[in-house]
Amino acid sequence: MKKPDISLYSNLMHSALSALAPRADWPKAIAVTGALGSGKTEWVLNLALGFKSLGETITIADMDIINPYFCIRQVAETLGDKGFKIITPPESSRWSDMSIVSPQVLWALGEETGRLLLDIGGDAEGALALKQFEPDIREAGYLLILVVNSFRPQTATPEAIEKMLRKMEQIGGLSVGALISNSHLMEQTTPSDVADGLAAVLEAGSRLGLPVLCAGVSPELHCRTAEIFDEREISVPLWPLFRYMMLPWEEGAMWSSGTMERKD
């Protein structure tokens, strides 16, 4: 797989920002959450590259208290080598399923420069990680993004999406400010699936008064999906989502090969 086009990322970041009008800029903290299987961790990494393409200094905080085995801490070393600052749970609890988040998040929120991306655990209970930092996140300024795969049972309809969103807000104390459509069926995904899956997310966004920042698609399907978006007059930016989190049985996964280095 070829490496991502940095200039394309920059353009996509500007397009996503325009959907957030009347915001003047991205806020200090960008928190990303979603149901299990939504791909929210991949979006944290892709957005981090997007912000880096704008020349920003990025800190990524692993706040996933739900699934410690498929999250940022898997690839922390590689991300550090690429110039990102990484915050993971304390070493003694890094691979446990205890609800422990590093207090360094407070330090990152208080930094005068740089952007902080927060990877929040899947499903509503993962929003508990936000609760302990809620006042500080509010003070710093934030955008909470919900990543939606409308082919997952928990988020298959606009009603289900709203139900999950409301529960997350109730538990975490912060309000979702935007949606991202990441509707896919793993390797069976077709370009039409991407466009069809976006429909439920757009309807949910309309009901909730929230913008849909973009729709994700694998780079291999990007060109044909873009054609379908044009045919259907879909104006949502289409983001070629590069994968950095390998499944346990895939070549390059830290669990199978002992390395966290992705092979492009």
pLDDT tens, position by position, 95-149? 445 455 667 888 899 988 899 999 987 666 667 778 888 999 999 999 999 999 9
pLDDT (tens digit per residue) in 137-147: 999 999 999 99
Domain boundaries, the chain: 12-249
Are residues 212 and 205 in contact, defined by beta-carbon separation less than 8 angstroms?
Answer: yes
Whether the per-residue pLDDT at 255 is higher than 50: the answer is no
Q: In three state form, how does the secondary structure of 196-263 look?
A: HHHHHHHHHHHHHCCCEEEEEECHHHHHHHHHHHHHCCCCCCEEECCCCCCCCCCCCCHHHHCCCCCC
Higher pLDDT, 23 or 240: 240
Q: In whole angstroms, what is the distance from residue 247 CA to residue 229 CA?
A: 29
b/e code 187-218 from CB counts within 10 Å (16+ = b): eebebebbbebbebbbbbbeebebbbbbbbbb
178-200: pLDDT as tens digits: 999 999 998 999 999 999 999 99
Domain 12-249 has CATH 3.30.465.10: no
Each residue's pLDDT tens digit, 228-237: 999 999 999 9
- Mean of the pLDDT values across residues 60-88? 72
Helix then strand count (H, E) for the chain reads 10, 8
**In angstroms, rounded to a whole number, what is the distance separating the alpha carbons of residues 186 and 256?**
20
**DSSP per residue, 142-209:** EEEEEEE-TTSGGGSSHHHHHHHHHHHHHHH---EEEEEE---BTBT--HHHHHHHHHHHHHHHHHHT
